[in-house]
Amino acid sequence: MKTLSKKSMLVLSLFFLSGHAYSANDEVGGSGSVTNKTVSDNMLWTTISSVNHTVNGGAGTNDCMVVASADVDNPSPSTGKQYLFTISRNTTNPIENTRAERTLEFVDNSGVDDPNIKPVSTNEVFTGLTSTNGVAGTNLHTFYLLGKKKLEQPDGTNTAPDLSVLDYTISTVCVDRD
């Protein structure tokens, strides 16, 4: 008689004890790069990275968890400036001040060697994705990691140096709810 390894038992128990059986439309995806992207505008969002998810079937509903992160280079060690990052679905011009929006600030502390690189991360859950509410009414849903300069800076101006995003990832876990 063959015995099962501990790893096999763990996998089997997770499969049988999980509340959600694997579906053909469950999907894990992602993208990322170490190629620098420049955030240069305070009105328009810069697309840093994106990933697609396709809802298969005629009447299916999917829910997706999206997680994104990046390393950002301090643009100017002599000034305190703020930048915004967010995740959006099917648009590169999202509404501001969403749950996924994060503010990253670089501050020059006198007499302190401030960080040259800072991480930023965010996440969001998107529910109710269907084969008809994707891009242009299709089953294709595109998730974006976006960045831009904050319009009103802490010093009262609306100017900030361009920002280099050094490396970044965006990942999705989507499940079929039908």
pLDDT number for residue 11: 41
Is 71 in contact with 106 (CB distance < 8 Å)? Answer: no
pLDDT number for residue 98: 80
- pLDDT > 90: percent of the chain: 57
Domains in the chain and their CATH numbers?
Answer: 24-176 (2.60.120.760)
Question: Cα dist. 150→6, 13, 65, 154 in Å?
Answer: 51, 48, 26, 9
pLDDT number for residue 116: 86
pLDDT number for residue 159: 87
Pull the structure tokens for residue 74.
């301090």
Is 85 in contact with 70 (CB distance < 8 Å)? Answer: yes
- Mean pLDDT computed over 22-29: 72
Three-class SS of residue 172?
strand
Confidence of residue 106 (pLDDT cuts 50, 70, 90): confident
Which is more confident, 162 or 98? Answer: 162
pLDDT number for residue 15: 42
pTM: 0.83
| Closest by CA position to 164, among listed 40, 16, 54 | 40
pLDDT tens for 31-59 read 889 999 999 999 999 999 999 999 987 66
Distance CA 33, CA 169 (A): 7
Q: In the predicted model, what is the mean pLDDT of the chain?
A: 84
Which is more confident, 90 or 157? Answer: 90
| Closest by CA position to 103, among listed 86, 90, 127, 88 | 86
pLDDT tens for 134-165 read 999 999 999 999 999 999 998 888 889 999 99
